[in-house]
Amino acid sequence: MSLKNTADRWGPVSQLLHWSIAALVIAIATIGLLMGDLPNTPRKIEVYALHKSLGLTLFALVLIRLAWRVYAGAPRPALDQPLWQRRLAALTHATLYTLLLAMPLTGWLLNAWGGYPLQWFGLFNLPRLFTRDQDLHELAGSLHEAGFWLLLVLVLMHVGAALYHHLFLHDTTLARMLPPRRAQRAFKEH
């Protein structure tokens, strides 16, 4: 079995990165939505630190995924699609990658301009990029929040498109991002 992608399906490395990033996005988003309402206790600081560490992990995984995609290529489209659909899919994927990189970066800037230290799971500190600046801190916060909502919309579009392909077009778009046995089972059910 090849680790690289084939013309017909995503390879196991791409699948692992895809689903790991998806799980991280869900975890980070959930924590991000809930952490602001926590009472000001040491636990709140721990939750913020976890959010930041997971965000840095997401950033690294997205960079690895982009490098892997350049190296391993991508499967051809699952079926012949009109040009506008291929272009919309390409634009959506490019925007998803951009936001998956921008979210951790705006979080890092938000943190830096807020004057807070940035650690990765308490193992090491990342460099302080800038000095404290309240106006830029608020700007980074606004960009981080707006980016989250845009990312949410695009993720929902991405999931919706995969389900549409699977349930209505009955093609392999979704199945080829699943391990082979699950893909066969999922495709036989529909």
Is the pTM for the entire model greater than 0.85?
A: yes
Give the CATH number of domain 12-189; options: 2.60.40.10, 1.10.260.40, 1.10.1270.20, 1.20.950.20.
Answer: 1.20.950.20
Ordered by start, the domain boundaries in the chain are: 12-189
| Tens-place pLDDT, residues 28-40 | 999 999 999 999 9
Mean pLDDT of 94-102: 97
> What is the C-alpha to C-alpha distance for residues 78 and 6, in angstroms, rounded to an integer?
12
Alpha-carbon span 14 to 99, nearest angstrom? 19
